[in-house]
């Protein structure tokens, strides 16, 4: 279900050390960049998408999605990417109250992600909502109010906050769980072996006639 009330922030700014460096989001997965699978999963659920990444934005031009660089000094990880995305939304889509962040290496995101997080956030009257699976919280897969951006900027610049969980745990937050069988929907490809496993999963789905 698409909602114009939410814009997706695709976090593609990692250094990908365990993948050997470079742009992990552009690694091949079943003939398409890893990021293309993430976009295909999230685009139907959002009113728009942006890519959070530093460096030359031209390398993402084929996706036809705005690319937003960090706007705080230093390499501050995904929190800086989330802040840049929230600032972009505030400037370019001021009527959009919410953003969902997802890592750009999670090709199996559930089609109910935005709807379930938004529903849980509303039902619990929480400020944030976050995904979980297999007894783990995935703090970077979260629904954020755009209005939290000034708090986030202060945490980054004045408190040297770097961890998404460290920031998020200071606010009321709904945690929404998903099953991990047959596949964890928040599986992320950190290493070449993870990409190989993701390809096995996708090829298995193709053979079984399951839509990707």
Contacts of 92 (CB under 8 A, 6+ apart): 66
Structural domain count of the chain: 1
Structural domain for 41, as ranges: 3-208
> Which one, of 11, 7, 1, 19, lies nearest residue 164 by Cα?
11
Report the length, in residues, of the chain: 212
Taking only the tens place, the pLDDT of each residue in 124-177 is: 999 999 999 999 999 999 999 999 999 999 999 999 999 999 999 999 999 999
Q: Strand 67-68 and strand 46-52: pairing?
A: parallel
CATH of the domain at 127: 3.90.550.10
Confidence of residue 206 (pLDDT cuts 50, 70, 90): confident
- Is 139:164 a contact under the CB 8 Å cutoff? yes
- pLDDT tens profile 171-205: 999 999 999 999 999 999 888 899 999 999 988 87
């Amino acid at each position: 279900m698409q909602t114009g009330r939410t814009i997706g922030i695709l976090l593609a700014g990692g250094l990908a050390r365990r993948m050997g460096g470079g742009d992990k989001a552009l690694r091949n997965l079943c003939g398409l960049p890893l990021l293309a699978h993430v976009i295909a999963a999230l685009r139907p659920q959002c009113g728009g998408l942006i890519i959070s990444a530093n460096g030359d934005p031209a390398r993402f031009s084929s996706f036809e999605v705005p690319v937003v660089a960090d706007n705080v000094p230093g390499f501050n990880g995904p929190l800086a990417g989330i802040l840049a995305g929230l600032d972009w939304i505030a400037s370019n889509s001021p009527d959009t109250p919410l953003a969902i962040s997802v890592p750009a290496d999670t090709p199996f995101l559930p089609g109910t992600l935005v709807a379930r997080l938004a529903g849980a956030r509303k039902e619990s009257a929480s400020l944030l909502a976050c995904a979980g699976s297999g007894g783990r919280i995935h703090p970077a897969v979260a629904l954020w109010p755009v209005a939290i951006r000034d708090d986030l900027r202060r945490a980054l610049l004045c408190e040297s906050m770097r961890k998404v969980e460290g920031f998020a745990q200071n606010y009321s937050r709904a945690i929404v769980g998903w099953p991990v069988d047959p596949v964890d929907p928040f599986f992320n490809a950190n290493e070449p072996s993870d990409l190989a496993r993701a390809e096995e999963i996708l090829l298995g789905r193709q053979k079984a006639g399951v839509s990707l």
